[in-house]
Structure 1
Amino acid sequence: MIRIPEGPFTMGLSDEQVLFLLRSEDWAEEWQEWYDNDLFMVEQPQHIVYVPEFYIAQYPVTNADYFAFVWQTGYRMPRTWNGFYYPDGTDDHPVTGVSRHDVLAYIEWLNQQTGLKYRLPTEAEWEKAARGDMDARIYPWGDEFGLWRCNTKEGGKFSTTPVGSYSPSGDSPYGVADMVGNVWEWTSSLFRPYPYSAIDGREVPNDNEKYVVRGGSWYYSRKLARCTVREGVIATYTSPALGFRLALSP
């Protein structure tokens, strides 16, 4: 677990960054024209959010991590596994094919095993861990996309990769790995408009609403592998491109 210090950070995408993407990325103009800017607007407005100190896992939960849970409890297998086991050679790949309910069951089991209180990160915590404090970088490493820094469609892997494969070049300012690309990650937050506030109800679980997932994945292009990209999915949703990582309050 990596400590993320308390304090403010810049959350969301600014108008200036939209203009930068329009100048530097061939996909950005299509987003703006085809969807009347809606796909950028869900990441706006950019605003300052204060986040208390917390800890976040350096890597997403892996197949081997999750297998220990399944083996001990008899819990159902992820849909992406082959029968009773994950695919050969993928023990250190992020576990995928897990719904929010599956994730919470794993966390409950882990907390019983460790005596700690692991949880999912809020989307504000996730974004701060991904981009740092106040420089509002577009990617964990800066403002320019780097093909060798993360596992996206452009890299041609067409599957998950071992966690940490792109470290340290793809790490966040705090040293957190795989924050973009490889797999989308569940957060605890409901998918609601900005500005973000932890006390406006979006951190109160409600399976009648969608939950925020973050980070893009191997299945999608670099357009979704940005620190500010947010998608909403229902609690029962599973995908071979969706996993999770743990957070912990001090």
Structure 2
Amino acid sequence: MRASLSPLLLIALLGDALSAEPPALLENSLGMKFVRIPAGEFVMGSAEPPEQLAKAYPQYEPERFTQLGDEGPPHRVRITKPFYLGQHEVTVGQFRRFLAASGHVPESIADGTGGYGYNPAYDPAMSKRGDAFEGRDPKYSWQNPGFAQTDQHPVLNVTWNDAVALAAWLSKTEGRTYRLPTEAEWEYACRAGTRTRYASGDDPQSLLRMANIFDADSKRNWPKWQQFALQGADGYAFTAPVGSFAPNPWGLYDMHGNAWEWVADWHGDDYYAKSPVDDPQGPADGSVRVRRGGSWHTWAFYARSSYRNWNSAATRYTLVGMRLLREAD
């Protein structure tokens, strides 16, 4: 016969459970690790004047600095609840395990049009971008971005809809709420208490220790853009295995560079001017979804914490991946 616990002991045990610190790091069924991000406040966006940016990035054409209206006005944002954010970008191996377990068919395969890929033999004159990325083509997908990747590299060529499908499957499978971070949650976590251009400081060269972006390794494949490369090499001409660089102050890796990351929000040029203070969710509707953070192919200017870019939800591209959020209990 099992002995029963006294009421006083039950109260004591319950008190201990309620007062216990939540875990700082969680790991889920696909092997994704999540860092607990505290609630708090920060100033979102940027209003650096074009003249100041031109001095910081002298290799860029001045007109680039007059097209950043959607980064302002800077505004106070309060994240009212803690959350868990993926310590790393979702990897090829994790996405592979999701597909095997769920039966989900990535959009680039389901619609038969494929994705984009790097092809050094591609004629840049045939591309609106003037570079060596070609597509859509069925030979390119999350399994083949045109260069070699292992299961430890960030998955690419995934659509916003693919990212939402992964989050929905994890939520159903684990009984926890997974989703894409809002744009505000993403920038809050990326800045990690900083107010500089990058979590590593204002100097673009500071990214060499924290980010895989366009540098001396990458410029060998794009000599016409060599003026925009960081002065240094990180050993990766394309993607790097996740976690290959130093984390930001909150223990998150690759928030700058490696792969652009989908976030939940619709994009709105003027949304910052009317954004609520508490937990902004982005515009109620729109035509394109926001992506953040830059990629292995991104020039330093476009990897700033405040920089915003966007694509349609069905876009699949050789620079774009994802990072998931898990809501805290």
Letter in 2 for 1:123: E
Among 191, 195, 198, the alignment partner of 1:131 is 191
Among 141, 146, 163, the alignment partner of 2:200 is 141
- Alpha-carbon distance in 2 for matches of 1:84, 1:41: 33
Deviations 1:69-111 (A, max 9, x none): 1112332246479789836651011111111111111111112
Per-residue deviation, 1:173? 2.0
Deviations 1:211-231 (A, max 9, x none): 110001112211111101101
- Alpha-carbon distance in 2 for matches of 1:8, 1:98: 31
Determine the structure 1 residue equivalent to 2:265.
189
Q: Percent identity?
A: 32
Secondary structure, in 3 states, of the residue corresponding to 1:3?
Answer: strand
Q: Computing the radius of gyration over CA atoms, which structure comes out larger, 1 or 2?
A: 2
Per-residue deviation, 1:20? 3.8
Matches within 5 A, 1:161-172: 161-167=240-246, 171-172=247-248
Q: Tell me whether 1:22 sits opposite 2:70 in the alignment.
A: no
Determine the structure 2 residue equivalent to 1:98.
158
Aligned residues: 239
Among 67, 70, 89, the alignment partner of 1:42 is 70
Give the TM-score, by structure 2 length.
0.66
Determine the structure 1 residue equivalent to 2:86.
57
Among 159, 169, 175, the alignment partner of 2:251 is 175
5+ residue gaps, structure 1, are none
Per-residue deviation, 1:181? 0.5
Letter in 1 for 2:42: F
Secondary structure, in 3 states, of the residue corresponding to 2:173?
Answer: helix
- Alpha-carbon distance in 2 for matches of 1:84, 1:218: 18
- Alpha-carbon distance in 2 for matches of 1:238, 1:219: 16
- Alpha-carbon distance in 2 for matches of 1:213, 1:165: 22
- Alpha-carbon distance in 1 for matches of 2:40, 2:298: 32
Letter in 2 for 1:143: D
Determine the structure 2 residue equivalent to 1:245.
323
Which structure is higher in RCO with an 8 Å CA cutoff and minimum separation 6? 1
Letter in 2 for 1:49: V
8 Å CA contact 1:188–1:203 kept in 2: the answer is no
8 Å CA contact 2:261–2:323 kept in 1: the answer is yes
Give the TM-score, by structure 1 length.
0.85
- Alpha-carbon distance in 2 for matches of 1:199, 1:130: 16
> Which sits farther off after the overlay, 68-77 or 19-28?
19-28
Per-residue deviation, 1:199? 7.3
Secondary structure, in 3 states, of the residue corresponding to 1:15?
Answer: coil
Change (3 A) 1:83 1:190: closer
5+ residue gaps, structure 2, are 1-33, 109-114, 118-138, 219-235
